[in-house]
Amino acid sequence: MKRFVRQVYTGEGGYVFARSPEEIARLNGLSGLCRLASNENPLPPPASVVEAGLSALREGNRYPEARPDALIAALRRCHGDYSFIIGNGMDGVIENVVRTVVDPGDRVVVSTPTFSFYGLAAEAQGGVVVPAPREADFSVDVRAFVEACRGAKIAFLCSPNNPTGNALPVETVREILDGIDCLLFLDNAYVEFSGIDYRLLMDEYDTLIEGRTMSKAYSLAGLRFGYAFVPEALLPYLNRAATPFAVNVVALAAVGAALAEQGHVDLTAARARVWRERFLAGISRPVAPSDANFVLVDVAPMTGDEAAARLAGKGVIVRSCRSFSGLADHYIRVSIGSDRENEVFLEEINRL
Ligand SMILES: *Cc1c(COP(=O)(O)O)cnc(C)c1O
């Protein structure tokens, strides 16, 4: 069969998933696992969101609207009068953007270490991924990044960054935008946890795309919904390249309700602020300061794989960062979970 498959998919590689909690529980004969590997929100979605999703499912025999006007209106109520695209998770949005702009051979700059899907999506279109490594303290080397962007089609920058947790000041992003000619995709998956607002940059630059997701602060990882602020002039092309009906009716309805639940986001962000401080103070190993709902822990002399495996043996599932290219192999990424999960993690990490 391999001869039928595009070369880009015949090698090793691809998205690295966290091992499923069910599998780990089964392997270790455990129950009550602490699920701290995927930066999910430990709080379930608010009741209004569940209700909206359930009622939409009752009309699941119908296709969604071709243009989801009600949802776009909800996004505008929430954020202001911007242009938006929506997708099946932010992953779907990234795929839509890359499909729209990347031709075979185009350079795609990625600030590393970071989320792997930018590179995977770019390579799927025949793009050439150009890594722009961060500094040792995980800040962005603006000059090197701008230099790498010369002749590129699009660049990806994640803030707060996954897996390092740090956010870039608005000024730094502005400096980058002033220096580059290509599009910039600013991934703001964790922006609600950071207290930094990059939206105003949308008014100043017509080369900026800001990606958002409902998977983290809004507790809807399982629903799969993401969106992006996009330059108005790019919108028709993005719409032309989009997969038809990529977002289902349940997600459209539930997300509309979720956008009105600011209290849920505030509570979630407040918990993250408290717990990242406790992690920073309470973990007897180097922890990178975080603006997100997770922290990066240096577990040297163990490898990330070794630490993750030993914690899994205790029922605590964290992410080994081995698969993040551009990062040394002695880190784990730990999400902020429920109070109980966080307490158990703190106890177990300090026992390793
Ligand atoms: C979780 C995450 C996303 C993807 O979110 P989905 O909307 O669930 O696809 C995008 N970017 C980063 C950096 C993430 O961590």
- Encode pLDDT of 161-217 as tens digits: 999 999 999 999 999 999 999 999 999 999 999 999 999 999 999 999 999 999 999
Ligand 1 closest atom vs CA 213:
7
Please, what is the Cα angle at 39 between 35 and 40, to 5 degrees? Answer: 70
Q: Is the CB–ligand 1 distance for residue 38 below 6 Å?
A: no
Report CA(189)–ligand 1 centroid distance (Å). Answer: 6
CATH number of 2-44+262-349: 3.90.1150.10
Report CA(213)–ligand 1 centroid distance (Å). Answer: 6
Burial class (CB in 10 A: 0-12, 13-18, 19+), 9: exposed
pLDDT of residue 325: 94
pLDDT of residue 17: 73
Q: DSSP assignment of 45-98, as one string?
A: PPHHHHHHHHHHHTTTTSPPPSS-HHHHHHHHHHH-S-EEEEESHHHHHHHHHH
Predicted confidence band of residue 23 (pLDDT cuts 50, 70, 90) = confident
The residue type of 86 is I
pLDDT of residue 225: 98
Stretch among 10-14, 167-171, 205-209, 292-296 having the lowest mean pLDDT: 10-14
Residue 60 confidence (pLDDT) above 80: yes
Per-residue pLDDT, averaged over 147-161, amounts to 98
Per-residue pLDDT, averaged over 104-122, amounts to 98
CATH of 58-258, one of 3.40.640.10, 3.40.190.10, 1.10.300.10, 3.40.50.150: 3.40.640.10
Residue 31 confidence (pLDDT) above 80: no
Q: Fold identical between 2-44+262-349 and 58-258?
A: no
Q: Is the CB–ligand 1 distance for residue 95 below 6 Å?
A: no
Report CA(254)–ligand 1 centroid distance (Å). Answer: 18
Report CA(38)–ligand 1 centroid distance (Å). Answer: 10
What is the C-alpha separation between 187 and 137, in angstroms, rounded?
A: 20
Look over the chain and give the mean of its residue pLDDT values, rounded to a whole number.
96
161 Ramachandran zone, left/alpha/beta (phi>0; psi -120 to 50): beta
Residue 296 confidence (pLDDT) above 70: yes
Predicted confidence band of residue 69 (pLDDT cuts 50, 70, 90) = very high
Per-residue pLDDT, averaged over 116-142, amounts to 97
Residues with Cβ within 8 Å of 203's Cβ and at least 6 positions away in sequence, in order, are none
Q: Is the CB–ligand 1 distance for residue 116 below 6 Å?
A: no
Nearest CA to ligand 1 atom 2: 189
Residue 36 confidence (pLDDT) above 70: yes
Per-residue pLDDT, averaged over 3-12, amounts to 88
Per-residue pLDDT, averaged over 58-62, amounts to 96
Domain boundaries, given as residue ranges, for the chain: 2-44+262-349, 58-258
Strand partners, 130: 109
pLDDT of residue 21: 65
pLDDT of residue 89: 98
